[in-house]
Amino acid sequence: MLLILIVIVFGILGFVVSSKLKRKFKKYSQTTLQSNLSGKEIAELMLADHGIHNVSVNCVEGQLSDHYNPQNKTVNLSPDVYYGRNAAATAVAAHECGHAVQHAQAYAWLGLRSAMVPMQNASGKILNFVLIASLFGGWALFGSIGGSLPVIGAVVVGAYSIMTLFTFVTLPVEFDASKRALAWVQERNIVTSSEYGMSKDALKWAAMTYVVAALASLATLAYYASVFFGGRD
């Protein structure tokens, strides 16, 4: 019952934050930048200003699908951002380039997050396996193995601990990328004071999606820890 409550509460909270972000992005996309630069142009300019010449800027399908890929060194922007000439597109394009700058400057938190990706992926597969096993009566099978439940609990809690740690390591990476983006667009006079405020607000709500995800993961981890180990002496 408690797990269901956690899912419902954070599901609603995540929906509210995501809807707010989409409304902000739509609102800030309606006013053309005074500089009239597109997201692609802004991204290329920010990379060049930081001496980064081995990262390409690409257009990818989707809405708010923007991301930086450290494996192939690409800044991938959704069509609304790639072609957009507004405060919202500016914020997102500069933010993703902020990750490229982090990578180029060996930002410690980004390095830690990248190193954790394989462990995070493995943890997700382990949890999926346990969930599927439980749906098909796996708990009975596990329970028939003497003393196995504490081991199962340790595996579940351990895997969820890694996933939760990953969400919290992501926070400084995202906040720092936004900080770098906002500082650059202001210093470079890419935006006016009002456009800067719009960009900052858009990035604030984008960051909130990561905060909600981290808190949801922490609450779920606490639940599993209490279920498997809370009643033990």
Confirm whether 96 is a catalytic residue: yes
Surface-to-core class of residue 8, CB atoms within 10 Å of its CB (0-12 exposed, 13-18 middle, 19+ buried): exposed
Please tell me what DSSP assigns to residue 73.
T
- The C-alpha atoms of residue 138 and residue 130 are separated, in whole angstroms, by 8
Assess contact for 167 and 210: CB atoms under 8 A: yes
In sequence order, which residues have a C-beta less than 8 Å from that of residue 54 and are 6 or more positions away? 73
Radius of gyration of the chain (CA): 21
Catalytic residue among 41, 44, 61, 96: 96
Q: Which residues are catalytic?
A: 96
